[in-house]
Structure 1
Amino acid sequence: MKNGVSADDLAVLVAVVREGGFRAAGRRLGMAASNVSTTVSRIEEQLGIPVLRRTTRSLHLTDAGKVLVDRVDPLLSGLDAACNEVKALGGQVQGRLKLNVPGAVMRDILPALIAEYRVRHPAVEVEIVVESDLVDIVAEGCDAGIRYGSVLEQDMISIPIGPRRQQMALAAAPAYLEARGMPDTAEDLIHHDAIRYRLDGGPLLSWDIMSAQGSVQVEPSNVLVLSVAALDTGLRFAHAGVGIIHTFRNWLEEDFAAGTLVPVLPECWPEMEGPRLYYPSRSAPAPLRAFIDICLHASRN
């Protein structure tokens, strides 16, 4: 490059940012952490400006470093995608698939799809980032995202992933219901203790209940509020008799069969659209195209 900074050195800087440190980047690149640090220092010397702000516990991009990485990262990703496209012509998909997903799909929807993907494409490294807010997957360096009922940007396309429809359900432990009684109507729920979930830095997930008047939102007494990052742990608190839980019906079937949890107002359980995989409408890299094929096949069965 005319400015003296090589593409290989820039790839090391991008790896440091992606992996969150010199050691992690070194492990990914097969380099010693000291060599990674030296490479970043060389970039700074050649550009005449710091690109990383280092402390004993963390590192962060400077303003100049952010401009550099924001411009360089897509270019390097494009080079990687081009090389993987060529490799795929030989019959084996290679590279990395990075997905941004909510915790709700981590329990029973995504594992089976990823297991099949790994069987078909063992040369692909899969990385999953779990968060619930709608994010710019391109800016986050992800190939695709999964969300429930989100309004997506115009340059995104989406396909169903997992069940087309899912039902939400209410359940509680026998001990809780013995102590507090079984609700008879949706309105009775306001007098009961609830295990609720909160979006990251946002509102509580609503309790939408079907009634004679249609769908209504119920506001019970919140005795335990969990982050959606702990979505799968709420059942443990319900087992312990902390309160009534509102979650996916398919997550509760084993408990209903075992009697560890009891259905609450099953005639009021609403349905919702299942999750969707979304990704940029531009040409998808080979690892993502292969994952899309698996998702489409699974949704047809």
Structure 2
Amino acid sequence: MQPDLGDLNAFLTVARAGGFRDASRVMGVSASGLSEAVRRLEARLGLRLLHRTTRSVVPTEAGARLIERLGPAIAEVETALEVVNSFRDRPAGTLRLNVPISAARLVLPTIVPGFLAAYPDIRLEITAEDRFVDVIAAGCDAGIRYEERLEQDMIAVPIGPRTQRFAAAASPTYLKRRGCPQHPRDLLDHDCLRGRFSGGAVHPWEFERDGEVINIDTSGPLIVQLGAGSDLLVDAAIAGSGVVYHFEDWLRPHLASGALMPILEPWWPRFSGPFLYYPGRRLVPEPLRAFIDYVKLERAG
């Protein structure tokens, strides 16, 4: 007997959530029902797919191999089902996006409310994280990333500002105590509040002016993981702990209020804005097509 699609989806959700309780909240069904679905699937396959303890649920080797193939397959099934939305008066269904925390903070707030108002039958699910993932294997329809992190087989649509800058800033009390850097190399003598990427590398501080690019190997009293810890970096800078280097848009409210003062502004480097990306090898689900059209319309307007 072939495994039931519902059981396969239950297994995939439990594995991704790392437990039956969290998966039950995602799917809106009981944890006991999910447990029974996974047991039923394991019985039909004759294999254990999940190691279960009182603290965690971890895929076995067989389970991990099944997840690798199952994620894209179920995504294709969901896409096929979404095709019927073209026969409705307006698109409906679920749109799942995987985005960096910076996009959730700086890009989507100006887009999401209007989109939800325009398409009340679409439910938007957003996962904000800074690690680079395979959006299809993660069960998402599309993602937002910057140009240097886009894969070649993806279709990319501009979203949000097309040019952004990194900015350096510090509080007035810090600058009064330590002085204001006049050149990027002066930062070598300052307390710099740094961020670390999810992969472990510390975010480089790069400055550019009139074609000259300078990378500064800064040091200081605080390192946080970028994204989730970025507000702590800013709060520490406001409190006078040192110099912060982050998205200008992230720092702008504090620059406007005077809580932070700009440093080395003529050296702030520019970079291209983010893209909404999705695979070109599959049918575009109606909720995603509606979102793409909405983003394009917003940019045209």
* Structure-2-length-normalised TM-score: 0.90
How big is the shift at 1:169?
1.5
The answer (yes or no) to whether the contact 1:186–1:211 under 8 Å persists in 2 is no
Partner of 1:274 in structure 2? 273
Q: Per the alignment, in what secondary structure is the counterpart of residue 114 of structure 2?
A: helix
Per the alignment, residue 79 of structure 2 pairs with: 81
1:212 deviates by 5.5
Task: Give 1:57 deviation, angstroms.
Answer: 1.3
Taking structure 1 as reference, are residues 158 and 174 closer, same or farther at Cα in structure 2, changes over 3 Å only? same
Deviation at residue 174 of structure 1 after TM alignment? 0.5
| 1: CA distance, partners of 2:234 / 2:132 | 25
Quick one: distance in 2 between partners of 1:129 and 1:232? Answer: 18
Q: CA deviation at 1:165?
A: 0.3
1:236 paired residue number: 235
**CA 1:83–1:171 in 2, change beyond 3 Å: closer, same or farther?**
same
Partners of 1:294 and 1:23 in 2: CA distance: 35
Structure 2 CA distance for partners of 1:24 and 1:125, relative to 1, 3 Å: farther
Per the alignment, residue 252 of structure 1 pairs with: 251
In structure 2, C-alpha distance between the alignment counterparts of 1:30 and 1:104, rounded to whole Å:
29
Q: Which amino acid aligns with 1:42?
A: R
Classify 1:149/1:231 alpha carbon distance in 2 versus 1 (closer, same or farther; 3 Å): farther
Deviations along 1:115-140, one digit per CA (max 9) or x if unpaired, are 22211223333222222233222222
- Check 1:157–1:200 CA distance in 2 against 1; reply closer, same or farther (3 A cut): same
Cα distance change of structure 1 residues 7 and 205 upon mapping to structure 2, 3 Å threshold: same
Aligned length: 299
- Unpaired runs of 5+ residues, structure 1, are none
Q: Please show how residues 6-155 of structure 1 align to structure 2 within 5 Å.
A: 6-155=4-153
Q: Residue type matched to 2:188 in 1?
A: I
Alpha-carbon offset, residue 177 of structure 1: 0.4
CA distance in 2, matches of 1:132, 1:33: 29
TM-score (structure 1 length as normaliser): 0.90
**Identity across the alignment (%):** 40
Unaligned residue ranges in structure 2 (runs of 5+): none
CA contact (8 A) 2:162 2:274 kept: yes
CA distance in 2, matches of 1:133, 1:4: 35
Indicate the RMSD between aligned Cα atoms, in angstroms: 2.1
Moved more, 172-181 or 28-37: 28-37
